[in-house]
Amino acid sequence: MESEKSEQYPVGRAQKKAFFEKLVSDYSRLLYAQVRSIVLNHDDADDVLQNTFVKAWNKLDSFNGEAAVSTWLYRIATNEALQHLRRAKWRRLLYLKVEKAPESVSMAVSPDMASEKLMQAMKLLTAHQRAIFGMRYFNETPYFEIAEALQISVSSAKATYHQSVKKMEKYLNQIAE
């Protein structure tokens, strides 16, 4: 941590492992604090932190040292935390409480029913919106890749995704009432 810019990416597998272990020991506490400030829950923060380090390990070969190691790790951690919040929001919309269930019993909708609700909501979207929503939501495709694949601008990809999400949220909230 003391000389981030001088940390060089290791060449061999053993060096890569040692480098990664040092990253985990040096940055776990700091990244946990960052993630916890976003997700607000200890267990969720632990899960997100683990996902952060898994992603960092998988992407270690692509780390080129242009940015500081801490910047790179913070970016991964923040993106993972925000993705966690997005997924939690959708889970809340899809796993709605069963109507007329006794107040003492909390029965969630089955995964099949949730999937069916999602598919029904997706039917409200145009083919173009479904393509963008599917790429972003299911595959976590970055906007620039969506834009490139569909030959549209990045801002158009973002706007279309946002419109799709809002349209689906409105539908899911209506059927929840």
Tell me how far apart the alpha carbons of residues 17 and 30 are, in angstroms, rounded to a whole number.
Answer: 20
Residue 49: predicted pLDDT: 95
The ranges assigned to domains in the chain are 4-90, 109-176
Domain 109-176 in the same topology as domain 4-90? no
Residue 134: predicted pLDDT: 79
Tell me how far apart the alpha carbons of residues 157 and 151 are, in angstroms, rounded to a whole number.
Answer: 10
**Fold entry, domain 109-176:** Arc Repressor Mutant, subunit A (1.10.10)
Q: pTM above 0.85? A: no
Residue 10: predicted pLDDT: 57
| Contact between residue 158 and residue 143 where contact means Cβ atoms under 8 Å apart | yes
Sign of CA dihedral 85, 90, 95, 97: positive
Residue 143: predicted pLDDT: 92
Tell me how far apart the alpha carbons of residues 168 and 93 are, in angstroms, rounded to a whole number.
Answer: 10
pLDDT string in tens for the chain (177-residue length): 444 443 555 557 788 889 899 999 999 998 898 888 788 888 999 999 999 999 999 998 888 878 788 888 988 988 898 888 888 877 777 665 433 333 433 345 566 777 788 888 888 988 888 888 877 887 777 898 888 888 899 999 999 999 999 999 899 888 877
Residue 29: predicted pLDDT: 92
**Fold entry, domain 4-90:** Rna Polymerase Sigma Factor; Chain: A (1.10.1740)
Tell me the angle at which helices 69-94 and 13-39 cross, rounded to the nearest 10 degrees.
Answer: 50
